[in-house]
Amino acid sequence: MANQDWIGKDFYSALGVSKDASAEDIKKAYRKLARKYHPDKNPGDSAAEERFKEVGEAYQVLSNEEDRKQYDAIRAFGAGGARFTAGGGGDAGFEDMFSSMFGGSGGSFRRHAQGANASSGGFEDIFNMFGGSGGGGSRFSFGSSRRASRGEDLVTSVSIPLRQAASGTAVKITTASGRSVTAKIPAGVTDGQKIRVPGKGGAGVNGGPDGDILVTVNVEKHPVYELKGKDVYVNVPISFSEAALGATVKIPTLDGKTVSVKIPEGSSTDKLLRVRGKGLKGGDMYARLKVVVPKKLSEDARRAVEEFADATSDADPRAEFATLARS
């Protein structure tokens, strides 16, 4: 589109904003209308498609500070009351108006409008005030040509089970326009991590590339495992005898296998044992010991515990606790 055609277009009205709208207001209005009239959301609707183009053209001009200034100037010039009326002679009128505005003569204007190879001044120079090019003779434009603009990035979020975060998966995303897009989630993704799906976002304007989709991945809580970055924490129940005497126990890992972990003699609840390389990709697994006491004891078990209590009566498990409480 030659930019002199801007005179006949009301871009502010196309976006539904006032002439003193801020850049942010213009952006918000464009996004709302672009989503509403996007061709993917209105298949086969030629009116919606035309409205989408109109909105895109308006945003392209008004979102660029220089283009907006030129557009406002051109619109003001077109609506400012300049009227081309015939003067005292056949050569008066349009030429005289430009002569009075820019200090030239009617003859000079006429000469340069007709001569494509004139060296300077004239009709082309008048349009150059608006950023156009005076060369080439017969074609004039106000400001720059229509530019290709990249489509906006769209944001969304998905929730996946922890095991899928460990192994990787693919999820379906439905965009605002109703399109279904597949996003590949890599193995080892962490809670809150963002995944980019290139070229599936908002449509580009004037041949510009489409934007991307940014997917925030939320990893769901697991009844056994807990994620901290790429490290995995797991609560491991052990018996009193295993804690007191030490033992080797098998612990399930995220990949469905098991790993043998040695519990040191005299371990207590919440003691952490590190298992290297068994977390998410590049992370470790931490086994947090939880001593489980039977809710019911047989007579033999009770007698054994009572004998143990007598044998260890000189050991005070709360000695350090009492000292810390007084500090």
The predicted pLDDT at position 79 comes to 55
Which value, in Å, is the radius of gyration of the alpha carbons in the chain? Answer: 38
217 touches 189 (CB < 8 A): yes
Alpha-carbon dihedral angle through residues 114, 118, 123, 126, given to the nearest 10 degrees:
170
One-letter amino acid for residue 193 of the chain: Q
**How far is Cα 313 from Cα 320, in angstroms, rounded to an integer?**
16
Helical segments of the chain, H only: 11-15, 23-37, 46-62, 65-79, 94-102, 106-114, 123-128, 162-167, 240-245, 299-311, 319-326
The predicted pLDDT at position 248 comes to 96
Beta bridge partners of residue 288, listed in sequence order: 235, 272
97 touches 84 (CB < 8 A): yes
Helix, strand or coil, per DSSP, at residue 269: coil
The predicted pLDDT at position 85 comes to 39
Phi, psi (degrees; rounded to nearest 5) at 312: -115, 25
**How far is Cα 289 from Cα 266, in angstroms, rounded to an integer?**
12
Phi, psi (degrees; rounded to nearest 5) at 284: -115, 170
The predicted pLDDT at position 3 comes to 60
Low-confidence ranges of the chain (pLDDT < 70): 1-5, 77-146, 176-177
**How far is Cα 176 from Cα 87, in angstroms, rounded to an integer?**
59
Smallest Cα–Cα separation from 154: which of 186, 197, 189? 197
Check residue 49 and report its DSSP letter: H
Report yes or no on whether pTM surpasses 0.85: no
Smallest Cα–Cα separation from 71: which of 136, 23, 63? 63
Identify the structural domains of the chain with CATH numbers, from first to last. Answer: 3-128 (1.10.287.110), 154-219 (2.60.260.20), 225-326 (2.60.260.20)
Beta bridge partners of residue 287, listed in sequence order: 234, 273
**How far is Cα 277 from Cα 285, in angstroms, rounded to an integer?**
7
**Distances in Å between the alpha carbon of 232 and those of 98, 282, 286, 292, 297?**
78, 11, 6, 22, 34
